[in-house]
Amino acid sequence: MQSWRNSPQNEHGDSEVAERSSQSTWKAVWHDNKGMFLILLAEIAGSSMDAMVRFLQQGGRGMHPFQVIVARMGMTFVLSTIYMWWTKVPHFPFGDGKVRGWLILRALFGFSGLFCLYYSVHYLPLAEATIFRFLVPLVTAWACSVFLGQAFTRKELLAGVIAFIGVVFVAHPAGIFGPIDDDVGASKKDGIDEVTPTQRLVAITVSIAGIFGASGAYTTIRIIGDRAHALMSVNYFAIIATIGSTFALLVTPGIGFVMPEGAREWTLLLLLGVLGFVLQFLLTAGLQLDKSSKATSMLYTQVVFALTFDWAIWGVLPGSLSILGGSIVIVSTLWAALQKTQPAKTISPKSSTVDEETALLGAQTQGVVEAVERRASIGASTS
């Protein structure tokens, strides 16, 4: 009996059982966390795009942010248009006439926010430029309290004040902290432009301006609600960003189109547009499958990927003050987001696609449609 248990046939059977058990465990993990994993893949795609943008701008003949926007948003416009035509999105291609003005305003805000982001990654490490995005939900919550009558709690106000302190540490202006070289490394100096303290301060100021641009885009998206498909909003954003950037390149003295050198730069420009659409798809699928705080918190992993790209490509990591400030910003904004987490609500098919930009708002997007409808009903009763 003992010899049968130790026979090669039985050992082979035990290994098969163990392998099947391991496979079923991994399948269970994937099934239970599919939405979270898709959002994680989306953040990898987003951080990869930021790294490509920074890479294309570095060097003596680096591309201007406007040219990078043309490459990325032009491709996004083509792919989104094809997708909306194929899936017969309502009111294609211009959207409902009642909200076209809001769609244009949303696109203008989004364009300004995107330019500020792409400008800042030229002069700031990716991790630092990424940190400023986490302030957008708090600014949006305040804007919606002013324009949509939504609640802006004391906890959100406290989180905003704490986050602002974190921004001061990230910026560490010389007037407060004195002259500090707070970047660790730069072991690959030949692949990165030298940045003066003035350029760094201007980039941080532009990043803060970009927060208000992105917040304006999010606020108008909330006003639009489910009256326009999310891809319609993305398409307006893409076409206005493409046209605006092309016009700026043509008329602004000292800048213009730079012909890409070699297959690598052409490939990066193409990937920017493709990854932008992939990011849209992954976020849509992920946030539809899992609306919990666990999935929303995965949006903050982009800092980890930004740090990885900073070190792997340019050999740069932020110093102690930047890490301290960034940690303060992340903790305070994540805490504010988790305070607003609510049970998932059923949403209409027309609004079931997630705008790639609104994903960072996470749980704060709950109740958007209800707030818009409440304002509409109030307006109707007073007219």
Amino acid 293: pLDDT? 59
Amino acid 191: pLDDT? 54
Q: Along the 383 residues of the chain, how does pLDDT read in single tens digits?
A: 555 455 555 555 555 555 555 567 777 766 767 777 888 888 888 889 999 999 898 865 688 999 999 999 998 899 889 989 999 998 888 988 899 999 999 999 999 999 999 999 988 888 888 888 888 888 888 888 888 888 888 888 888 888 888 888 887 766 666 666 655 555 555 556 677 888 888 999 999 999 999 889 888 888 888 888 888 988 999 999 999 999 999 999 888 888 888 888 899 999 988 888 888 778 767 766 766 656 666 777 888 888 888 888 888 877 788 888 888 888 888 887 776 644 444 444 444 445 555 544 444 444 443 443 343 333 333 33
Of the candidates 126, 123, 119, the one whose C-alpha atom is nearest the C-alpha of residue 48 is: 126
Residues 185, 199: Cα–Cα separation, whole Å: 19
DSSP symbols for 43-100: HHHHHHHHHHHHHHH-STTPPPHHHHHHHHHHHHHHHHHHHHHHHT-TTTTT--GGGH
Find out whether 240 and 101 touch, Cβ atoms under 8 Å.
no
Residues 337, 242: Cα–Cα separation, whole Å: 32
Question: What residues form DSSP beta bridges with 315?
Answer: none
Residues 229, 284: Cα–Cα separation, whole Å: 12
Report the helix count and the strand count for the chain, using DSSP H and E.
Answer: 16, 2
* Global model pTM greater than 0.85: no
Amino acid 117: pLDDT? 92
Amino acid 112: pLDDT? 95
Query: Buried b vs exposed e over 178-205: b needs ≥16 C-beta within 10 Å?
Result: eeeebbbebeeeeebeebeeeebeebbe
Amino acid 192: pLDDT? 65
Q: What are phi and psi of 239, to 5 degrees?
A: -70, -40
Find out whether 202 and 123 touch, Cβ atoms under 8 Å.
yes
Amino acid 303: pLDDT? 83
